[in-house]
Amino acid sequence: MASDPAVGFAVRLAIAADIPILARQRVTMFRDMGKLRAALEEPLERATLAYMTDALPRGEYLAWVAESAGPTPSIVGGAGVQLRSILPRPREDVTGVELGPEAIVLNVYVEPEWRRRGLGEALMRALLDDLARRSIRRVVLHAAADGRRLYERLGFVPTNEMRLS
């Protein structure tokens, strides 16, 4: 568990009991970005609960939470990664073959009253440290405008990805 007593929070690996809060934060994240109609909030939360309930115990989805300090700690932020198999490919540094898995960062969210206190960075550093311990070299994400500076500071760079909707 990583903690920062100066700002009153600790980061830890999520457990099954945290899934309802992580699902709610995912819905809130999309709503705050203007990408979720109110009518879809409940179906998205239900589907997220079902996915995480299955994927977290299997290790397909990993998550971290930031908990406030004090006598009744509460989860005030979270971040996750979905691990997915990839077809072997040359590594970016062309010195070997990348076998995977690949980690896609998802659901990085901090409650509004806790923003600008280092929680997002602490969550991302815990996530990246854990992935490094697991020897997962390929990490990707889709950055919202509010998170782009943090991700660039952590070493993420734009890529050639395109999307067909």
Note the pLDDT tens digit of each residue in 56-90: 999 999 999 999 998 899 999 999 999 999 999 88
Note the pLDDT tens digit of each residue in 142-151: 998 889 999 9
Torsion sign over Cα 67, 60, 83, 48: negative
CA torsion, ordered 5, 9, 10, 12, to nearest 10 deg: 180
Please report the domains of the chain, with CATH numbers, ordered by start residue.
Answer: 2-153 (3.40.630.30)
Note the pLDDT tens digit of each residue in 85-107: 999 988 888 888 988 899 999 99
Q: Within a 10 A sphere around the Cβ of 46, how many other Cβ atoms?
A: 12
Question: What is the model's pTM?
Answer: 0.90
pLDDT value, residue 4: 47
